[in-house]
Amino acid sequence: MSDSSFVRTQMLPPEVPPLTERGLVRWMRENLFSSVLNTVLTLAGLAFVIYAVAATLPWFLNGVWNAKDIKECREIVLANAGPEATGACWALIRERWHQFLFGFYPADLYWRPVLALGLLLVSLAPLLYYSMRRANLILVGTVSVLTLIALALLAPGAALLVLFAGLFAALTAVAWYAPQKLVWLTLAFPLLAFALLWGGSVWGPIGVAAGFGILALVYSLTKSFLGVVVATGAGVVAAAVWWLMVQTSVTTALHGAIPLGIQAVNSDQFGGFLLAFVIGVTAIGASLPIGILLALGRRSDMMLIKTLCVGFIEFVRGVPLITVLFVATLLLGYFLPPQSNFDLILRVIILVTFFSAAYLAEVIRGGLAALPKGQYEAADALGLDYWQAQRLIIMPQALKVSIPGIVSSFIGLFKDTTLVAFVGLMDPLKGVTTIVRADVAWKGIYWEPYIFVGAIFFAVCFGMSRYSMYLERKLKTDHR
């Protein structure tokens, strides 16, 4: 008994777990077949996936990229895959992709919308990432490279390309050295985009910008002896006088003297995703200030203002967008002075702006409600007046909290721009598709354009919703 050496002095090396407890098998046991219900669900899911893939994959694989019409497509599929097979006809996309993206925008000017999109993303940088230098640089840099590649593919000419390269290099440099300075681009972007997309004389947008200059000038000159409120009023009146009465003659005269400008493009040539972006971005951008005012109005102590705001918001939120679009086409003409008549895209943008303002108002109201009461009291205690408190204390916090909501409003609005097809505009989904299908060569094609357009919508919306989730997480940690 003395040599009790069978007592181990060392640890045994751990056994490899049994087969069912390791690797793939364990993972499957835990994640797929942990109970009867789970097994049934897994099998059902598997059956569904297999069925879906089996039903659609051959169609995708047999796709034809190179054909001149649908007949040729079908013949190629027949020749390649036999009589029973079906195949997609991607040749349509190859032939008409530009109409899905740009509508009937002149082909040699495609660089203008592309450049505008690049500038849009750059000008969003300061809003999306505040003053985070690295994020700004990454965003601006990536956007610059992508835009330049896209522009180079469109081949607008070497001189222009060099110019754009310089422009984007400068923007990237600004994003690194002085990210706050990018805000100036953001402020100038609306006019810049207008000038780029619609073209025409450069004096029009400059004239509009001059109006804001006049507003600022009058305000700063009169502020000292009229007080803030009256000075603002005076500035607005002066600017309005300029815009409504003086501007047209001045810009016309200037254009006569120095005819600077680029080729004008009519708005009826806008279509496809270009139109979706123009309507979506303009409407959301323009509706933000209106939405803020409506949200503040809804929380106001003033009975009349509150009633008006609530009435407006609830009315707009209670009717479908399509009826609002019908109002734009059918009724707006009745409400305006008899001789006036302006283009459908603009009318649609105006009404869509009011429509989304009501939704944004609710989002921002949510942001305002999320602020602790202490913030308001603190602002009061500091002796700030209403607008100072809003500008310095309340809005920066409320807007920050509302950004995810604003982004999802934008996603919703962007998807809803497809409805403009029903009032005769060329949205990518139905408008362009109908036109493409009116061509005898492509009659009888259904799925391909829908898949193409759907995929682009998905990419854009999914990207934005991921961004909004990222932001939500970031904002959450800021608050804890």
Q: Among 130, 184, 342, 387, which residue sits at the site for another protein (rule: CB under 8 A)?
A: 342
Q: SS3 letters for the chain?
A: CCCCCCCCCCCCCCCCCCHHHCHHHHHHHHHCCCCHHHHHHHHHHHHHHHHHHHHHHHHHHCCECCCCCHHHHHHHHHHHHCCCCCCCECHHHHHHHHHHHHECCCHHHCHHHHHHHHHHHHHHHHHHCCCCHHHHHHHHHHHHHHHHHHHHHHCCCHHHHHHHHHHHHHHHHHHHHCHHHHHHHHHHHHHHHHHHHHCEECHHHHHHHHHHHHHHHHHHHHHHHHCHHHHHHHHHHHHHHHHHHHHHHHHHHHHHHCCCEECCCCHHHECHHHHHHHHHHHHHHHHHHHHHHHHHHHCCCCHHHHHHHHHHHHHHHHCCHHHHHHHHHHHHHHHCCCCCCCCHHHHHHHHHHHHHHHHHHHHHHHHHHHCCHHHHHHHHHCCCCHHHHHHHHHHHHHHHHHHHHHHHHHHHHHHHHHHHHHHCCCCCCCHHHHHHHHCHHHCCCCHHHHHHHHHHHHHHHHHHHHHHHHHHHHHHHHHC
C-beta of 168 vs 198, nearer to another protein = 198
Q: Is 405 in the site for another protein (CB under 8 A)?
A: no
Q: Which of residues 417-446 bind another protein (CB under 8 A)?
A: 418-419, 421-424, 426, 429-431, 434-435, 437-440, 443-444, 446
Q: In 3D, which of 447, 421, 426, 431 has the Cα closest to residue 70? A: 447
Residue from the set 87, 118, 190, 404 that interacts with another protein by CB under 8 A: 190
* Binder among 3, 15, 301, 478 for another protein (CB under 8 A): 301
216 sits near another protein (criterion: CB under 8 A): no
Contact call for residue 53 and another protein (CB under 8 A): no
230 binds another protein (CB under 8 A): yes
Q: How far is the CB of 152 from another protein (least distance, A)?
A: 24
Q: Select from 132, 186, 254, 262 the one that contacts another protein (CB under 8 A).
A: 186
Question: Which residues within the stretch 457-476 sit at the binding site for another protein (CB under 8 A)?
Answer: 457-458, 461-462, 465
User: Is residue 302 at the binding interface for another protein, with CB under 8 A as the rule?
Assistant: yes
Q: Please choose, out of 15-23, 240-248, 370-378, 389-397, the segment that lies near another protein by the rule CB under 8 A.
A: 240-248
Question: What residues between 384 and 403 interact with another protein by CB under 8 A?
Answer: none
Determine if 211 is a binding residue for another protein (CB under 8 A).
Answer: yes
Which of 109, 117, 185, 453 is in the footprint of another protein by CB under 8 A? 453
Judged by CB under 8 A, which of 23, 166, 396, 454 binds another protein? 454
From candidates 4, 5, 10, 339, binder to another protein by CB under 8 A: 339
d(CA 204, CA 220): 25
Contact between 298 and another protein (CB under 8 A)? no
* Stretch binding another protein (CB under 8 A), from 109-117, 151-159, 214-222, 344-352: 344-352
Give the footprint of another protein on residues 128-147 (CB under 8 A).
Answer: none
Q: At its nearest, how many Å lie between another protein and the CB of residue 356?
A: 12
Q: Is 293 in the site for another protein (CB under 8 A)?
A: no
Judged by CB under 8 A, does residue 247 bind another protein? yes
Compute the distance between CA of residue 418 and CA of residue 453 in angstroms, rounded to an integer: 11
Per-residue x/- track, 13-52, another protein (CB under 8 A):
-----------------xxx-x---x--xx--xx-xx---
Piece in contact with another protein (CB under 8 A), picked from 58-66, 335-343, 389-397, 472-480:
335-343
Query: Is residue 304 part of the contact set for another protein (CB under 8 A)?
Result: yes
- Identity of the residue, 130 or 462, whose beta carbon is nearer to another protein in the bound complex: 462
- According to CB under 8 A, which residues from 93 to 132 bind another protein? 95-96, 99, 103-104
